[in-house]
Each structure stands twice: as C-alpha cells, then as structure tokens.
Amino acid sequence: EDKVVQSPLSLVVHEGDTVTLNCSYEVTNFRSLLWYKQEKKAPTFLFMLTSSGIEKKSGRLSSILDKKELFSILNITATQTGDSAIYLCAVNTGNQFYFGTGTSLTVIP
C-alpha cells in the first residue's frame, strides 16, 4: 500500500526560529515529491523534487529529497507569522498523488 507520512503533526515556534518538517514515503512507482502550503483554502505549490541531493530553494524555504532513504525535508529559516499554515507533502506515482496528513505550523510573534 502506497503511503506518505509527515512529522511532526504540529509545531509551535517563535518568530525567527528555524523549523524542519519531515516527509517519508513508501510507494511503488515514484515520479516526484511535492510540497504544498495550505492556509484557509486551496493548497498552493511550493516545490517539486525528482532527484536526490539537489536542494530546491525559494527565499527562506528550502527542500531536499533522499531517494535512497525515502524521505524529504522542508526547512523554513527566520520564520514569520505569515508562515503559519499546514504544510502538505505529496508523492506522484504517475496518475495518482498520495498526500500525507500534513504538519500544522504556528508561528507566534
């Protein structure tokens, strides 16, 4: 059974802290791993990773994939209150995407 597991389930930090969110997966036909940010409404796309060891970076956010150990991490440095959201990890196996349950991040001023 294909599955994606995220940890921790929730996290509360202070502004300026650095956080690391984890995503591990077991799927039969890996194509790519994606990270999304979900605030009140639709998930919005952050990163797509297909190759091991190549860091993707956008501002204070970065992500990396390890296809040997079957996991990815999402780092957020110098957190701001606007980073408060649920962060979703998904694995694409071709025509299907499998999502983790998400990590709820709360950033306190």
Partner 1 sequence: NAGVTQTPKFQVLKTGQSMTLQCAQDMNHEYMSWYRQDPGMGLRLIHYSVGAGITDQGEVPNGYNVSRSTTEDFPLRLLSAAPSQTSVYFCASRQILNSPLHFGNGTRLTVT
Contacts with partner 1, residue ranges (CB under 8 A): 4, 31-32, 34, 41-45, 48, 50, 88, 90, 92, 94-102
Q: Which is nearer to partner 1, 3 or 60 (CB)?
A: 3
* Distance in Å, CB of 109 to partner 1, minimum: 27
Neighbours of 49 (CB within 10 A): 21
Residue with Cβ nearer partner 1 (43 or 63): 43
Residue 65 C-beta: closest distance to partner 1, Å: 14
Give the integer Cα–Cα distance in Å for 100 and 15. 26
C-alpha to C-alpha distance for 62 and 20, rounded to whole angstroms: 10
Closest listed residue to residue 46, CA positions, set 73, 25, 18, 7: 73
